[in-house]
Amino acid sequence: NAGVMQNPRHLVRRRGQEARLRCSPMKGHSHVYWYRQLPEEGLKFMVYLQKENIIDESGMPKERFSAEFPKEGPSILRIQQVVRGDSAAYFCASSLRQGFDGELFFGEGSRLTVL
Amino acid sequence: RKEVEQDPGPFNVPEGATVAFNCTYSNSASQSFFWYRQDCRKEPKLLMSVYSSGNEDGRFTAQLNRASQYISLLIRDSKLSDSATYLCVVTGGAAGNKLTFGGGTRVLVKP
């Protein structure tokens, strides 16, 4: 009965490197959301995906960030050429259906540190 | 103006006391409202939904005021374990399918 699994839990990158964060939703869930949380701040929506489709990417920075949720395998949030300002906790959440009932199940987060 | 605004606190609450705080939202078309709880460096978890008529879950009471566009959370008989950050969440309307989180209100319950 695994929940939302995120890995790595902690990731350290130097400026200019790439970061890949993975998220496996709860079994049976086909809706995945990525949120970013900066230190001492709230969660900021980044992207909402269903299998093989990006539904809403209005919170994604225009450059360097991309997300996918392939037919097989986990959802991946990719950050190219990381900068110090990308240091944050990245939370993935999944839901059984579109989240109007409010029940998003969150993973424990991936904490990215850019040196 | 932020879509969802909260007083960041912290609210320092003696154990056993009552604490209440609000959250305002800017989009009058918002449809659904929730309170999530986040412990330090942990993931957020759903605390309760907020219904138009108000609702109660044990020591927690949530209310919605659509006219003034705010929701509230009241915690009675505070426990040390209630110390956490409480996140106001709004969805629907312009937000579409995504949940929009407030910055959170930090509550510290002290003996």
- Rounded distance, CA B71 to CA B93, Å? 16
Dist CA A33 CA A54 (whole Å): 10
Min distance B44 CA to chain A CA atoms (Å): 7
Average pLDDT, chain A: 91
**Residue A53 has what pLDDT?**
92
Q: Which residue in the set A59, A89, A102 is minimally distant from B89, CB to CB?
A: A102
> Using CA of residue A86, residue B38, residue A73, residue A46, what is the dihedral sign?
negative
> Looking at residue A96, what is its pLDDT?
81
- pLDDT value at position B28? 87
Supply the pLDDT for residue B27: 87
Say if the Cβ atoms of A102 and B103 lie within 8 Å: no
Interface residue of A43, A94, A98 to substitute, partner B, most B CBs within 10 Å: A43
Nearest alpha-carbon partner for A98 in A32, A28, A27 = A32
What tens digit of pLDDT does each residue of B60-101 get? 999 999 999 999 999 999 999 999 999 999 987 665 667 889
Measured between beta carbons, which residues in chain B are less than 8 angstroms from residue A107?
43
Identify which of A48, A91, A100 has the shortest CB distance to residue B32: A100
Residue type, A94: S
pLDDT bucket at A104, cuts 50 / 70 / 90: confident
